[in-house]
Amino acid sequence: MPEQSTTGQLLGGRYRLQELVGRGAAAGVYRSFDEFLGREVAVKIFVKEAGEPELLARQEAEIRILASLIHPGLVTLFDAGTDAAMERSFVVMEYVSGPDLRQFLREEPMEAASIASIGSDLASALDYVHGRGVIHRDIKPGNVLLYKQRPSEPDSPWRAKLADFGIARVMEEEHLTGTGRTVGTAAYLSPEQALGESVGGASDVYSLGLVLLECFTRHVEFTGKPNRVRRGTPQQGRRHSRRYRSRVEGPAGCHDGEDSRGPAHCGRSCSCPAAVGREAEPA
């Protein structure tokens, strides 16, 4: 989807595409202008070639999930449709003017107050979506959009919104990916996710812990090569998983040797970061 062939076009008779701000394998995101309501929006246009049944199912699932979620820590869905002239499906969302967290950390360190602020925002958003049976499955800095709640105060802490539910799934629904296939971004996978095992909300919490750790260190804790873990027998994979989990001391793992399911699964009183984080989650 070349930028020059799309920028400036009117989508759905209403949304003027202005600037390409993000691109993935299945879609591009444009800063756009809603000519009906006179406001900036973000328009995600799915590529025309993404016609495979699995990708179409993901598109439909993302739209359904976004339409069902309303929370200040999530990017809000405004509209969805198909443009007949372009023959492409699209979703319209609120436009978040700040950088994503990946871009920010590449350029400068983050103050502790901002880390606490975005951690609270994202934990609250995950608590909300998990309570509605949705697992994001791709928590990473590139999917965290930053903004200033008080733009007139440049020293105020950054706030965060979670974006891109493209590989999210509803806990009760069947997988939209092939059996045993690992989905997500390797560097932020929980052990069970890296092994292609069933995942729950705790897997998102584990990934959030790695993201917040990276905010402090500006270093990716795990380079992540899940294909290595996937080789061998299931028994070998489980042994590897146990060894891996016992070494993890990240913000969402228990340094008493438990897995990423957190303090509810500890057999004793635990002061691990997962326990502290769970108690601190906003209501």
pLDDT interval class at 224 (50, 70, 90): low
92 contacts 80 by C-beta, under 8 angstroms: yes
Class (C level, CATH) for 101-280: mainly alpha
185 contacts 140 by C-beta, under 8 angstroms: yes
157 contacts 114 by C-beta, under 8 angstroms: yes
Segment 84-111 shows an average pLDDT of: 92
Closest of 158, 160, 150 to residue 114, by C-alpha: 158
More confident residue, 142 or 179: 142
| Fold topology of 3-94 | Phosphorylase Kinase; domain 1 (3.30.200)
Residue percentage of the chain with pLDDT more than 70: 68
Is the pTM higher than 0.85? Answer: no
Domain residue ranges in the chain: 3-94, 101-280
Give the E-state strand segments of 163-254 in sequence order: 169-170
Decide if 164 is catalytic.
Answer: no
Render pLDDT for 43-89 as a digit per residue (tens, 0 to 9): 999 887 655 667 677 777 778 888 889 999 999 999 988 888 888 88
How far, rounded to the nearest angstrom, does the alpha carbon of residue 95 sit from its chain's CA centroid? 16
Render pLDDT for 225-266 as a digit per residue (tens, 0 to 9): 544 444 444 444 444 445 444 444 444 444 333 444 443 444
Catalytically annotated residue among 83, 100, 121, 138: 138
The pLDDT assigned to 103 comes to 94
Segment 131-148 shows an average pLDDT of: 93
Segment 20-38 shows an average pLDDT of: 90
